[in-house]
């Protein structure tokens, strides 16, 4: 029986989100986010939480342009990897983008196979000047970025499809 669910993040989740991001940032797999930053951006996050409310997965959706959003800070607690949590979070974020009428969802990642299994394709980073000029110029990895850009174009999909029927906007 599943002991977790996905939902919109609430302020009480900020510390758990920050700790999860810090775990991956310490390995160089994700950019760190301060508790203050997570608190300010809490409305952009979706979390997976155990029945007791503990955050075991997170991801956020950031608007980069009129028709472009980025999935950021996507991570699952190591003990919960392989349970479908990442897929549910990505599905919820894609559904959010679709509901907003956004046509393109992108991410920079080291987990290319995961994103490909979730409908994304690899592209060159240069096609996202919104990302480069907004964020990459401030990134410590700017001149030696080894992340791979992936994209999912929602306009080519069925706009009525619900890829994450169990996600509820609470």
pLDDT band at 139 (very low <50, low <70, confident <90, very high): low
Say whether pLDDT at 80 is over 90.
yes
Using the predicted structure, report yes or no on whether residue 170 has a pLDDT greater than 60. no
User: Is 57 within a domain?
Assistant: yes
Give pTM, 2 decimals: 0.84
Mean pLDDT of 38-63: 95
The arrangement of strands across the sheet holding 121-123 comes to 4-8, 45-50, 55-65, 68-76, 104-109, 148-153, 121-123
Do the domain assignments include residue 152? yes
Q: For residue 169, is it within any domain?
A: no
Q: Is residue 8 part of a domain?
A: yes
For the domain that residue 92 is a member of, what is the CATH number? 3.40.630.30
Structural domain span for residue 91: 4-156
Residue 90 burial by Cβ neighbours in a 10 Å radius (0-12, 13-18, 19+) = buried
144 occurs within a structural domain: yes
What does the pLDDT read at residue 166?
A: 36
Q: How far apart are CA 67 and CA 139, in angstroms?
A: 23
Confidence of residue 45 (pLDDT cuts 50, 70, 90): very high
Number of domain units in the chain: 1
Per-residue pLDDT, 144: 57
Residue 71 lies in a domain: yes
Residue 34 lies inside a defined structural domain of this protein: yes
Per-residue pLDDT, 68: 92
Higher per-residue confidence, 165 vs 95: 95
pLDDT above 70 covers what percent of the chain?
78
- pLDDT score at 90: 98
89 belongs to a structural domain = yes
């Amino acid at each position: 029986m599943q002991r977790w669910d996905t939902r919109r993040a609430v302020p009480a989740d900020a510390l758990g989100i920050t700790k999860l991001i810090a775990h991956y940032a310490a390995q160089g797999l994700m950019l760190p986010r301060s508790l203050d930053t997570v608190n300010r951006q809490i409305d952009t996050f979706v979390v997976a939480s155990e029945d007791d409310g503990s955050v075991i997965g997170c991801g956020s959706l950031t608007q980069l342009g009129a028709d472009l959003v980025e999935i950021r800070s996507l991570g699952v607690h190591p003990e919960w990897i392989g349970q479908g949590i990442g897929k549910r979070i990505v599905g919820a974020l894609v559904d959010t983008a679709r509901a907003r009428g956004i046509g393109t969802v992108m991410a920079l990642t080291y987990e290319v196979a995961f994103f490909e299994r979730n409908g994304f394709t690899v592209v060159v980073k240069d096609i996202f000047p919104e990302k480069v000029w907004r964020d990459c110029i401030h990134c410590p990895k700017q001149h030696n970025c080894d992340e791979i850009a992936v994209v999912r174009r929602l306009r080519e999909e069925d706009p009525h499809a619900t890829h994450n029927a169990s996600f509820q906007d609470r």
